[in-house]
Amino acid sequence: MKTKHIFITGGVVSSLGKGITGAALAMLLEKRGYRVAMQKLDPYLNVDPGTMSPFQHGEVFVTDDGAETDLDLGHYERIAGVTCSKASNYTSGKIYSNVIARERSGGYLGGTVQVIPHITDEIKKAMRSLH
Amino acid sequence: MDIAITEIGGTSGDIESLPFLEAARQFKLESAANDVIFLHLTLVPFIRAAKELKTKPSQHSVATLRGIGIEPDLLVCRSEVPLEEDHFKKLSMFCNVPTRYVVEELDVKNSIYEVPLELARQELDLKVLELLNMEPGTLDLDSYRQWLDGVLHPQKECTVAVVGKYIKHQDAYKSIYEALHHAGIKHSARVKFLLVEAEDLESSDAEKILGPADAILVPGGFGERGVRGKVKAVEYARTHKVPFLGICLGMQCAVIEFARDVLGWKDANSTEFNEMTTHPVIDLMLEQRSITDKGGTMRLGAYPCVFDPESLAAKIYGKTEISERHRHRYEFNSKYRKDLEDAGLSIAGTNPESGLVEVVELKDHPYFIGCQYHPEFKSRPQDPHPLFAGLIAAALKGHEHAKAQ
């Protein structure tokens, strides 16, 4: 079966508990017999939260495969019972650095690198990496 | 994988998250019908002065999303009071979401583990599956409800002091608080947190601050600020026989305190804080010395650890080979291993390949464990981490004992 996708967006204010709501939904879907994977996309430009002070960002959650990630992944693991990995957290910084590294190595030779389509393609790749 | 859930950080309208939303829009455009849905989580605030719920902010946030080409399929409304039929209708009308797919998510009273039940009450899971054109299957929450009932009605209680350097930020030790909570659940106990800013401890009477604690936990951290306070907390736990768990820097502080107080090496330290110390009992790992980049370069992720079969850790885990997650640059300096062991510090666990010391213990103590790794990341509500479960068991024992006297 093809993987179905749920995007969770937030409105009005931050700290509404998108992570907890997503994780709780994942738990219910798992109890109904489905295998669920979870992912967080963070808009900031740090490649990961590993270099940020806990005062800025709260805890840095570490996965088995050694990714330093957003603390929402802790909710995913605890509430939904999923196991997270490097594919479970991408930041704008990570996406941009991948694209820029590819540009430097000649991956877009001859072309202008742009937000659309290059950054958005890279983001879609990250979204599909969960499948 | 059957279902992938992607949470897009930030709120609709932020400049930073636009590329993510644009990519998600394209993602749906390129997928088959019913394969991709958007769930928009929004706030419906209660205005006390008017005694009214306001849907306008939600209308605006959805309008912003629609402006960039995203039509939410589901609207989940966070609210402190129940929405009325009018609100559902209004939100449906202005946000272009059928009323059936406008659901409320009320604030839960006591525990985040109530949230799944709150969503189930609204049949959010069923509505999601409907929209994705998937079979509903069956949902049995009886055992979860039973477990949650235990969570909400603890029979005992104990107090754990968490001596940290980022105490003021409530999410800085999220997994640690959760792991303590899970351990409490296992023992039907409410775990009260005594949050101690390590720096405050430096100039105060330890007894006055830590006296009420049935257990002391010193978590990880980076940099010198607060280290003196953490060391003082270790000293108090060691000499007053208060159950203790030191994690990462907390374990390193335990080694430093032991070297200073028991071995009399007054300037024993980590080279992170004093490069000139004559007794660098904690030192930068060899493989870290050539690293200058700061991002993603620590010793990170899962590594194995093997316990001494006679150790408390082996008894608590019920096995001698484990794997735990790490995040550090500095390590126990094996050069001092023999001296420290001879003085009574037990080396309970090491990495089988490098010999890196992962766990230290004290024998003549009800519960004193320091671990280089982060056990808190692997604790689950219904499967608490052994080191936390052990700490709470010891804390409860001490608590009962104190009460009996």
Whether residues A32 and B36 touch (CB distance < 8 A) is answered with no
- Look at residue B264 in the predicted model and tell me its pLDDT: 96
Q: CA dihedral defined by B28, B15, A48, B381, rounded to 10 degrees? A: -70
- When pLDDT is cut at 50, 70 and 90, the band that residue B216 belongs to is very high
Which tens digits make up the pLDDT trace of B302-354? 999 999 999 999 999 999 999 999 999 999 999 999 999 999 999 999 999 99
Nearest to A58 among B3, B34, B174 (CB): B174
Which tens digits make up the pLDDT trace of B60-76? 999 999 999 999 999 99
A36 min Cα distance to partner chain B (Å): 5
What is the mean pLDDT, run by run of 10 residues, along chain A of 131 residues?
93 84 97 96 95 88 96 95 95 97 95 96 95 78
Q: What whole-number distance in Å separates Cα of residue B68 and Cα of residue B76?
A: 20
Integer angstrom CA distances of residue B89 from B44, B83, B119, B142:
14, 10, 20, 33
Whether residues A50 and B136 touch (CB distance < 8 A) is answered with no
Residue B404 has pLDDT above 80, yes or no: no
Q: What is the number of helices (H) and of strands (E) in chain A?
A: 5, 5
**ipTM of the complex, rounded to two decimals:** 0.97
Q: Which chain B residues have a beta carbon less than 8 Å from that of A27? A: 116
Q: How far is CA B186 from the centre of its chain?
A: 17
- Look at residue B127 in the predicted model and tell me its pLDDT: 98
- Look at residue B343 in the predicted model and tell me its pLDDT: 96
Q: Which residue has the tokens 């499967």?
A: B383
Whether residues A68 and B8 touch (CB distance < 8 A) is answered with no
- When pLDDT is cut at 50, 70 and 90, the band that residue B285 belongs to is very high
Choose among B26, B7, B27: nearest CA to B17.
B7
Whether residues B17 and A43 touch (CB distance < 8 A) is answered with yes
Q: Which residue has the tokens 């019920």?
A: B318
**Residue of chain A whose alpha carbon sits nearest to that of B140:** A31
Identify the burial level of B23 via C-beta atoms within 10 angstroms of its C-beta, where 0-12 means exposed, 13-18 middle and 19 or more buried.
Answer: buried
- In this structure, which amino acid lies at residue B21? L
